[in-house]
Chains A and B, each alone.
Chain A
Amino acid sequence: MERHSRASILKVENLLLATPEEAMHDLAAIRFKDDLLRRVKESIITGFIIDLSRIDVVDSFMGRTIGEIAESASLLGVEVVVIGLRPEVAITMIEMGISLGEVHTLLNLDLALDFFRSQRSR
């Protein structure tokens, strides 16, 4: 069994940019969450950017996992921003009742970086 989720996780300054490669089944979603949270401990991370632009299906479990990542991250003092959600994914998530209420969602990486920059300067 794969130990890691199929997601690239890059570190930029003190942010982590995570890009899941494809639709995640439940186990992969959990692994993705664990990977991300473990990386927080490794270095000083102030924020996560989760780029969902490669994902064309989000099921309720995946939606909930993203919510959980945001919640656990905020306990660790890390803020989470989701970017690149596709229209068809966004509308299915809403229809399924996943609203990602706790998570900031932004259009693109530029805006996400701006967001963290303005957080820092505060």
Chain B
Amino acid sequence: MITANLLEKKEAQVLETWKKSVRALAGRTFELMTADQFDEQARSFVTEFRTAISSGNYEDITQPEYESLLQMLEGVSASRAEQGFTPKEAAVFIMSFKEALNTYLQEEIKDPRKMHAEAVITGNLIDQLALHTLEAFVASREKMLKERAMALEFSNPMIMVWDNLIAFPLQGILDTDRMGKFTMDMLNAIVNHQARVVIVDLTAIPTMDTATCNRMIQAIEAARLMGSEAIITGISASVASIIVQLGIDLKARTLRELREGIEYAFKVLNLKIIKEVS
């Protein structure tokens, strides 16, 4: 109970010392977030922490009395992941609370033996909380990075090359999910732009698996059903040999480069490129 009482009595001082220590160990904290935000998080941590340890349980953070504290820490971790904290900077937040708390425990408890015992149990507890925070931080960070990568991978830029001619320069790793999204993007673009020819450029596609190839064929066939011809350009040697090894017929005209694709499309559209004689 000593720690809980101490926190109630000296909350403001502990917060102040804590803040100083965070500033010393991870000064960037106050560049990434405002001091007000920090104060709010620190204060709600102290309040939740005090409530949790008032139960007398200093060891098992899986118990229900720690639930709201852990939730609060997870929230803090998620926001820090978004604010661009490094794992160290995120961990310093809880770790340095231990330091601040110990400073005041030393003042409060005169008996060194008792003081040591209290410092050890609160220290262990705070370590557990710090680990939990770090874990939550890493999880949020991973989730965030994955989402960003997905957003990047899932966008399929369309180029309006000419009237009734569109091109999709695909890049990155094509998997079936992305291929499914691409199929719908492509078919909708065909309708919206009344595209009679669609060039799918695979120059920046390093590899493709069977399922993705099959999806690609479906996209090409669906385009044909709608009255549009899909042609494929820029297949790399490795993709070409994969397609051959898999024994797949792409059922589409494949041309070496985008320019040949455009040339072919112009022929389909009865357009001619003429060099002006000056």
Contacts and interface: CB of A to CB of B under 8 A. Distances in A.
Interface string A82-93: 110111101101
7 contacts: A82-B225, A82-B227, A90-B223, A91-B222, A95-B218, A105-B227, A107-B227
A99 interface: yes
A99 B221 CA distance: 7
Given A95-B218, A99-B221, A90 B226 contact: yes
A6 B150 CA distance: 45
Contacts of B195: 107
Given A85-B226, A87-B222, A107-B196, 9 more contacts: A86-B191, A87-B226, A90-B225, A91-B183, A91-B184, A93-B222, A99-B221, A107-B194, A107-B226
A108 B195 CA distance: 10
A68 B242 CA distance: 37
Interface residues of B, number: 19
B221 A94 contact: yes
Interface string B130-157: 0000000000000000000000000000
A93 B225 contact: yes
Nearest to A104: B227
Interface residues of A, number: 18
A106 interface: yes
A114 B222 CA distance: 22
B194 A108 contact: yes
Mostly, the B contact residues are helix
Given A94-B225, A100-B225, A106-B227, A87 B188 contact: yes
Contacts of B191: 86-87
Interface of B: 183-184, 187-188, 190-191, 194-196, 218-219, 221-228
B218 A83 contact: no
Contacts of B225: 82, 85, 90, 93-94, 99-100, 105
B218 A91 contact: yes
B35 to A, nearest CB: 53
Nearest to B225: A90
B227 A85 contact: yes
A91 B221 CA distance: 8
Which of A82, A88, A94, A95 has the largest number of chain B CB atoms within 10 A? A94
B227 A87 contact: no
A111 interface: yes
A90 B191 CA distance: 12
A82 B226 CA distance: 8
A107 B218 contact: no
A86 B227 CA distance: 10
Interface in A30-56: none
Contacts of B187: 87-88, 90-91
Contacts of B188: 87
Which of B187, B218, B223, B225: most chain A CB closer than 10 A? B225
Nearest to B251: A99
Contacts of B183: 91
In the A-B complex, list the 6 residue pairs whose CB atoms are closest, starting with the nearest.
A87-B187, A106-B227, A90-B222, A107-B227, A90-B225, A105-B227
A107 B222 contact: no
Contacts of B184: 87-88, 91
A87 B190 contact: yes
A69 to B, nearest CB: 15
A116 B218 CA distance: 28
A100 B224 CA distance: 10
Contacts of A86: 191, 226
Contacts of A88: 184, 187
